[in-house]
Structure 1
Amino acid sequence: FAAIDPEEFYDFQVHRPTVRLQPGLTRRLEWPRNELSLCRSGERDVVLLLGTEPNLRWRTYAQEILQVCVELGAELLVTLGAFLADVPHTRPAPVSASSTDPDWLTRPGVEPARYEGPTGIVGVLHDAAPAVGLPSLSLWAAAPHYLPSGPNPKVALALLEALRDVVGLEVDTRDMARIAEGWQRRVDEEIAEDPGLADYVRQLEREGTGEPSPMPTADDLVEELERYLREQGRDQGAGG
């Protein structure tokens, strides 16, 4: 029912508009979009925002989103995301939560997230939400880091189940569950052809069900390398 004008928020050399051919070979230009749509879940109205993280003016972007929430009388802001972690694809994707309202983190079935580090537009939205009186909850599912990037139905299923069980939305997950089963069978077949990877998956299965650790970012690795080199330099200086 609405869209956010991308002009102020995107570097179009990074997120370039796309040319599409239409019947009759006419050309149509598609710009990066953030679209709002409305759906019904039981007795609740749900406003969905689907789009691409902006490059510019994050605080202004967040304020525009929150202004829409206020005008529509929204009662809760929920964001969904996924991160790469050392988890096996053969298990349900673990889901953790963060919130500016500690009451959400004490609810049954909620595993508080312990991540610290760089954040994205989701973090900015949640930081700004209390200023407009809007409670917020962020749900994150762990995805196996050893699989190629792309859609992961088990992660999608875990997030839908969290929306149902934690937030209380009426969500029919049966179709997604069937898709996830077929996806896992295909992944199992591919991994069976790689004995080393199959052994690694079994190792992850044996390591238990503790909170998954996010994979380090490139910045984390550079920082760790610099720290190591500094320590090596001090050791050599002390020895000389």
Structure 2
Amino acid sequence: MQGWTGREGPAGVAPAAICIGPWPVTIEHKGPGSGRLGEKACRYAEAVDPISFVERPRLDRPSLLCAFRGWNDGGEAASIAARYLAEQWQARVVAHLDPEEFYDFQVTRPRVRLEDGVSRVIDWPRGEFAVASMKGRDVVVFTAVEPNVRWRTFSQAIIGAARDLGCRLLVTLGAFLTDVPHSRPVPVVGSAADEETATRLGLARSQYEGPTGIVGVLHDASNRAGIPSVSLWAAVPHYLPSAPNPKAALALVERASSLLEIPVETRSLLKAVEAWEEGVLRLVQESDELGEYVSRLETAVDQRIDEEVPSGEALAAELERYLRDHGGEPGHGMS
């Protein structure tokens, strides 16, 4: 082999294969009397599991509750809800997902913070699995930033961890921006991927067709693994600034708590909702145009209620329209 400068093997023959990560690169030697070398010359380096367990708890048929920060998280309602549930259920972290394979750090940047006012610490956007046991029921809560790349590998890693923990149901939380007034109860759309789960939990069967993203890919991986899946989406007013929306988070908390049959204390979140509503009221009062727009939305919602229009179906149609309109953009995801 011309130009070979590395350590040579027996009789001056270059090694037949070298390993780069988990994949071997086979090198053919074209010298006299040589054939293809290297069937056994290289061992595959083992692929590193991106999930590392701090402990492996023994759980009784838990559900896996997931929320992703990013496009799926209008008003940060889904991620707030997941973190709130984990906190109220006193969940403890049992595993982490290494971000190295799944994030473009120029897009999803790590953050620097001071520890004890002196040491600079980098917080990487890793995912966390936390487990809790409440009233005889176990639950696993997974939170992460929506990944930028390798969605299939990412989803398979999550579902692999779910199977290791014995999970029997996947529930994802999401929030989308739409034409709903902040002054009315927050609508939540719930759907299941299969008819049996939909019937058992009193949900609609998912009929969405169109562009999909990490939540959709995760549901697909879950269903292929034999784990039924449910998706809950809260509707968030599109006319408000992109600040945290505790009211939508509360709606997801209550719906998830009811679905999983695990009670949760909501007093602290209710206080945040009251403060948020006061701030939004001041914002609306400062703008006649915004006030008129909110009034029109309120009238439309009240009219649908008076006419007994099935708001769940109407909202599901609105969610599907939103997903189709926005789902084709890079980094967007839906189920």
TM bucket (normalised to shorter chain) is: 0.7 to 0.9
Indicate if the aligned counterparts of 2:173 and 2:231 stay in contact, CA closer than 8 A: yes
2:277 alignment counterpart: 184
Structural mapping, 1:60-99, within 5 Å:
60-99=153-192
CA-to-partner distance for each residue in 1:98-138, whole Å, 9 max, x for gaps?
A: 22122343467646666543322111110111221111111
Letter paired with 2:280: V
Aligned twin of 1:57: 150
Task: Tell me the amino acid that sits aligned with residue 177 of structure 1.
Answer: L
TM-score norm. by structure 1 comes to: 0.83
In the TM superposition, 1:1-240 aligns within 5 A as 1-23=94-116, 25-106=118-199, 110=203, 115-208=208-301, 209=304, 210=311, 211-212=314-315, 213-214=318-319, 215=322, 216-217=325-326
Unpaired segments of 5 or more residues in structure 2? Answer: 1-93, 305-310, 330-335
Structure 2 contact 171–230 (Cα < 8 Å) conserved: yes
Q: 1:193 to 1:109 in 2, by over 3 A?
A: farther
2:103 & 2:150 partners in 1: Cα distance? 9
Larger radius of gyration: 2
Checking the alignment, whether the CA contact within 8 Å between 1:93 and 1:143 is kept in structure 2 is yes
User: Residues 175 and 236 of structure 2 are in contact (CA less than 8 Å); yes or no, is this contact kept in structure 1?
Assistant: yes
CA contact (8 A) 1:96 1:112 kept: no
Structure-2-length-normalised TM-score: 0.61
% same residue? 49
Separation in structure 2 between the aligned mates of residue 181 and residue 98 of structure 1, nearest angstrom: 29
The Cα offsets for residues 17-37 of structure 1, whole Å up to 9 and x where unpaired, read as 222222363222221110111
CA distance in 1, matches of 2:197, 2:177: 24
Aligned length: 220
Q: Which has the larger share of helix?
A: 1
Distance in structure 1 (CA, Å) of the matches to 2:117 and 2:245? 36
Change (3 A) 1:24 1:130: closer
Partner deviation per Cα, 1:21-70 (whole Å, 9 max, x = no partner): 22363222221110111122321111111110111111011111001111
Q: 1:104 to 1:177 in 2, by over 3 A?
A: farther
> Residues of 2 paired with 1:179 and 1:107: CA distance?
33
The answer as to whether partners of 1:109 and 1:165 remain within 8 angstroms in 2 is no
- Cα distance in structure 1, aligned partners of 2:203 and 2:327: 29
Structure 1 gap ranges (5+) = 221-240
CA distance in 2, matches of 1:186, 1:104: 40
Alpha-carbon RMSD across the aligned residues, in angstroms, is 2.2
- Corresponding letter in the other structure for 1:8: E
Range with bigger deviation, 49-58 or 106-115: 106-115
Residue identity in the other structure for 1:126 = H
Structure 2: distance between partners of 1:119 and 1:113: 13
Deviating above 6 A after TM superposition, structure 1's stretches of 4 or more consecutive aligned residues are none
Q: Secondary structure at the match of 1:51?
A: strand
